[in-house]
Chains A and B, each alone.
Chain A
Amino acid sequence: MPSGTLIAIEKVSKHYQRDALVIRVLDGIDITIDRGDFLGLMGPSGSGKTTLLNLIAGIDRPTSGRVVVEGKEISSLSDAALTRWRSSNVGFIFQLYNLIPVLSAFENVELPLLLTKLSKRQRREHVMTALTLVGLADRTSHYPRQLSGGQEQRVAIARAIVSDPALLVADEPTGDLDAKSAQEILDLLGKLNTDLKKTIVMVTHDPHAAERAHKVMHLDKGVLTRN
């Protein structure tokens, strides 16, 4: 496993203001995640785990504190810079897959590459590599509605890895799947972590899923309760 800190969360707090009420979602969190780690984030609903995942992924900003990824403080980047940073550094895996229904599996995976300067041939190579990795090279022309839930999630994973990001963030990736499909997805995530050295941060409710992680952190009411 490659060594060195990839992500440093330093005294991060996240508050929401609802009328006169201040909701403290995260409160003074400190975490370091090493390159090649597979971190599980667990906790009850409303504990702040998705919010923490969003901060790590750079789609949300902390109220206070710093989020540093590969030595770069992403919480201080402009919106445009943060968007560019995400496109090359983070792969997203959602509970409900969130594929674009009008695009085929191939086109869904190709979508992030449309933002790059890769040629059509290079894009095709990248997409086919990603789809082969997730075992769906024979489903390129299938649309999301023609795929099972497990297959949709595998296409979503292919989309997440196609631009070869260092970090994969997964929010309840097995939450909408049957046990067999969930197992397959967890196997795939494990393979991406061990074979491709991807750093994975996964939010889950499922203790079986969490077992796949090298490290599990528990959140409750916005604070880390145990590692």
Chain B
Amino acid sequence: MKLWRFVIKSALRNKRRTFLTIVSLAISLFIVNTLASVIRGFDGSDPTGPARFRLISRHKVSLTNPLPESYWEKIKQVPHVEAVTPWSWFGGVYKDSSWENQFARFSVDPEIYFKLVEGEVTIPEDQKKAFIEDRRGGIAGKSLAAKQGWKIGDTISIKGDIYPVTIDVVLRGIFTAKKVDDENNLLFQHMYLEELTGRKGIVGTYWMRIDSPENSAAVAKTIDTMTENSDAETLTETENQFLADFVSMMGNVKGLISAIGLCVGVVILMLAANTMAMAVRERTTEVAVMKAIGFTPGKILGLIVGESLAIGLLSLALACGMGFLLYNVMDFRLPGLWTPMVLTPMTVLIAATIAIGISLVSGLIPGISAARLGVVEGLRKVA
């Protein structure tokens, strides 16, 4: 027998209590994982990534206000802008409103889109060409196509809600993206939407690529100055700022979620500490006997903390297993959340830190008491 085996046997001495503790901790850690996934989805920015090279122009008043199509040519002329495309949120309903059928649908200029995401999105050349050449053509992310069971040539019909039209997009390509979130997008041609809506000449936002991140402030200022005092003044910002603004429109959701996460963490700590305290209190005599036969206070502390850690790690494994199955395999997402909820190494790390931290604290408190317990005092509890 090794000491770790003794730790596991001790942890399982009251199987029902240990099972309930592990399940409670696992559910709490699963909630932490979920909240971390939601926050991660909101905060998809990467200050060091290729997003630094992209700027977004939107209506200064609100994201829901459109911009005129005429800005496209004007922005193209701005120094340091390498490429610019209309980027409009279509919304609409695909089949029904169930969460399985929620995904992002944008109209873009196909040629320019590929310039904007160069190095981030991969698509076979023939599929890329087919998308560019077909006015009704569209491309979908690999994970979205797999989830919906789409294949090249399928027609995807989406009934508009913002736009009073139904689009019938023919899938011409399937792309893979470095950011898994981007694989949940369906992109189709801006000109197709323009045709269907009777050439109204409106655009949701403009996305552009600039030559250097250092010029982002100057480019933004030029564009916004150019549209000043017009009916559609623009607000131009980096992609990361744009995403941050988008999240802030919902209020301090991140703060709220973090607060909930903190409460969950405190509850787990109390639960785990209480369980370990009970488990150790029941073993006062046992601890005294072990000390009598030669177990040092350090060994006793190690055994109790080890037991607490074993429970915490089992809970973590269960929580991460649930999260992986639900989010990564089944692609479940909370209704209304536009980004996939994915269990990433970072969310696992957060949950692991909490699980290990809580296990250590909840094991240390009764462990120190047990380590300090006098042998005679402990033996007297039965005698």
A residues apposed to B, CB below 8 Å: 50, 54, 57, 59-60, 79-80, 83-84, 86-88, 92, 94-96, 98, 100-103, 106-107, 110-112, 114-115, 159
Contact = CB atoms under 8 A, between A and B. Distances in A.
B167 to A, nearest CB: 65
B382 A83 contact: no
A44 to B, nearest CB: 16
A46 to B, nearest CB: 12
Contacts of B286: 98, 100
B12 A111 contact: no
A111 B375 contact: no
Contacts of B290: 111
Contacts of B12: 102
| Contact residues on B (Cβ < 8 Å of other chain), bracket | 20 to 34
Contacts of A111: 6, 290, 293
A114 B1 contact: yes
Nearest to B5: A107
Given A60-B375, A98-B285, A107 B1 contact: yes
Interface in B41-76: none
Interface stretch (B104-112, B117-125, B198-206, B294-302): B294-302
Nearest to B285: A98
B379 interface: yes
Contacts of A106: 1
B376 interface: yes
Nearest to A84: B294
Given A60-B376, A96-B382, A114-B1, A83 B289 contact: no
29 contacts: A50-B383, A54-B375, A54-B376, A59-B291, A60-B375, A79-B297, A80-B296, A83-B291, A83-B295, A84-B296, A86-B294, A87-B293, A88-B294, A92-B292, A92-B293, A94-B289, A95-B383, A98-B285, A98-B379, A100-B289, A102-B10, A107-B1, A110-B1, A111-B6, A112-B293, A112-B294, A114-B6, A115-B295, A115-B299
Interface string B87-128: 000000000000000000000000000000000000000000
